[in-house]
Structure 1
Amino acid sequence: MAVDRVPRRVGVVGYGRLGQSLVSHLLTQGPELGLELAFVWNRDPGRMAGNVPLPLQLQDLNALGERRPDLVVEVAHPQIIHDSGAHILRHASLLVGSPSALADPATEHQLREASHRWGHAVFVARGALWGSEDITRLDAAGGLQSLRVTMATHPDGFRLEGPLAAASRTGPRTVLYEGPVRGLCPWAPRNSNTMAAAALAAPSLGFDHVVGVLVADDSLPDMHVVEVELSGPLGPSGRSFAVRTRRENPAERGAVTGSATVTAFWRSVLGCCQLPSKPGIHLC
């Protein structure tokens, strides 16, 4: 995939499964694509020891400006976006890997304001959301009436908080949540990112009107299943336009991120490096 040959310095925030994959790609494939790894930051620096060259390890996230990044990729936790998103945008464009953070209106406002103030873009990784461009086109044309995203996996694949962490299961398949995506994101910050991306892809509905459904399913020990259902206006025959997709993403048991999502995220990074740094929030 061809990218601008002007060197682009990319910083990575987070060194879990996604972060490790991105760092590996940037070190091995980055130079031939005109990309350079500027730094890697992780909440636990010890995790980088022996894996990330010491000169590339960033100990203080507040000092990221010293590394002169063009793009900072967050693959850590929504809290990083809450706490440091606006600061990052002062120095570079930002690729948000935890879009559930934008369910908080104050955080979304801060990012938009910082983006326009400093002239840097906020990119949002589409992750496991299939058909995001089609959703956006339909929404822009005024033809999107409803959007529902269901994510089902084995209970071991969830990282839940608050009331959802204590929710009782009623059988081998239990609906843990069904309602507005905005209400789900605070309690399932790592398991609602696909739904958050859908809310951003359909601004006419947004976080308050895109429906998110989270399902614990014992029959899915090695897979994440994402179903997207949308409807449009009534046609001449009195029937509504409708689309339903089902994405089956292989995953290790207990993994929050599926295998195909790791690959998709690298493509998002490359996509960001092809796009102009226009202020605002953009799916990538």
Structure 2
Amino acid sequence: MPLDSVPRRVGVVGFGRLGQSLVSHLLTQGPELGLELVFVWNRDIGRMAGAVPHSLQLQDLTALGERHPDVVVEVAHPKIIHDSGAHILHHANLLVGSPSALADQDTEQKLREASHRWGHAVFVARGALWGSEDIARLDAAGGLQSLRVTMATHPDGFRLEGALAAAAKTPGLRTVLYEGPVRGLCPWAPRNSNTMAAAALAAPSLGFDGVIGVLVADLSLPDVHVVDVELSGPPGPSGRSFTLRTHRENPAQPGAVTGSATVTAFWRSLLGCCQLPSKPGIYLC
């Protein structure tokens, strides 16, 4: 069944595991859903050879407006959002696959300004964050006091920078690499903090400075990403607080940054944002 009566033109930025999956879905299932793939861009153009029709390969990201997309999906790296997010919003709605980019306050501000200037929405994929709607509702109702997200996996699954990269090379069986505000983690783990960044966006009363992120290297987890979410509300009349803990185990190929279930969730995020109105602002999807 089509999403609506108006075809949606979709561009994909990035051709790693997520990008390849999205392109495949768009080429095989897109037409019956009213979705048309209009371009694919990747930093290494050669990676698309034989997998993406040449007519769909975009050589220059600054020329994306020539393809007239309705929504552009970023599944590359936070740097794309830093450098090109505002430009994309000039032409289309933006689905962000690297929400860690929004930990940079200047980047978030530029996206908000461009969104309002051009009337396009910034959608943020929830990725591996389980229960994002419930977190958002609790936060909006004033019932959220603390939120903590722990991600654990084998160190081969990390793509870290700076001091964290060195720490991950010589871990014990289970080593806490970082524990603190999510804003401080994102620059050092831009590809491994997206779940935590999504949580910070789901809970704006806490945000990147109030949501706590914990990154754990665990040698006993070669083929799974484990995400634990813990939250609590303010004390009630009895003195007790509402608390919730979720534990998510996402199978992953050894050394992979993205778990299997996250790939499926991202396709659903794209379908979801294509059914939402284009209005200024930042929204989880």
In 2, Cα distance between equivalents of 1:202 and 1:156 = 30
* 1:238 to partner: Cα distance: 1.5
> Is the Cα–Cα contact under 8 Å of residues 171 and 217 in structure 2 kept in the other structure?
no
Amino acid at match of 1:118: W
For the Cα contact (< 8 Å) 1:144–1:232, is it kept in 2? Answer: yes
Instruction: Tell me what 2:181 maps to.
Output: 180
List per-residue Cα deviations over 1:31-73 (Å, max 9, x = no partner). 0000000100000000001110000000000000000000000
1:31-110 matches, within 5 Å, as: 31-110=31-110
C-alpha separation in 2, matches of 1:147 and 1:186: 20
TM-score relative to the length of structure 1: 0.99
CA distance in 1, matches of 2:261, 2:225: 10
SS in 2 for 1:135: helix
RMSD after superposition: 0.8
Aligned to 1:189: 190
Q: Would the aligned equivalents of 2:72 and 2:94 in 1 still touch at CA under 8 Å?
A: yes
CA offsets per residue over residues 206-264 of structure 1, 9 Å max, x none?
Answer: 00010000000011000000000000011232111000000100000000000000000
Match of 2:209 in 1: 208
Measured in 2, the distance between the counterparts of 1:119 and 1:166 equals: 43
Tell me what 1:265 maps to.
266
Matched, 1:248 2:249: yes
Instruction: Give, in whole Å, the separation in 2 of the partners of 1:27 and 1:51.
Output: 11
The answer for the alignment partner of 1:114 in structure 2 is 114
Partner amino acid, structure 1, of 2:266: F
Q: TM-score, normalising length from structure 2?
A: 0.98
| Residue 109 of structure 2 corresponds to residue 126 of structure 1 | no
Bigger mean CA deviation after superposition, 227-236 or 194-203 = 227-236
**Amino acid in the other structure paired with 2:273:** C
Q: SS of 2:167's equivalent?
A: coil
1:167-190 per-residue CA deviation (whole Å, 9 max, x = no partner) reads 264520000000000000000000
In 1, are the aligned partners of 2:112 and 2:281 still within 8 Å (CA)?
A: yes
Matched residue count: 284
Q: Which amino acid aligns with 2:138?
A: L
Determine if contact 1:5/1:33 at 8 Å carries over to the other structure. Answer: no
1:222 alignment counterpart: 223
In 1, are the aligned partners of 2:2 and 2:32 still within 8 Å (CA)?
Answer: no
Find the residue that maps to 2:261 and give its secondary structure: helix
1:9 aligns with 2:5: no
Deviation at 1:83, TM superposition (A): 0.3
CA contact (8 A) 1:4 1:273 kept: no
What is the letter of the counterpart of residue 12 of structure 2?
A: V
Shift of 1:2: 5.1
Q: Does 1:152 align with 2:152?
A: yes
Question: Structure 2: 5+ residue runs without aligned partners?
Answer: none
1:95-148 CA distance string (max 9 Å, x none): 000000000000000000000000000000000000000000010011100000
**In the alignment, residue 144 of structure 1 is paired with which amino acid?**
L
- Distance in 2, Cα, partners of 1:170 & 1:276: 46
Q: Deviations over 1:137-172 (max 9, x none)?
A: 010011100000000000000000011111264520
Contact 1:40 1:57 in 2 (8 A): yes
Deviating runs (4+, > 2 A) in structure 1?
A: none
Q: Distance in 1 between matches of 2:39 and 2:5?
A: 20
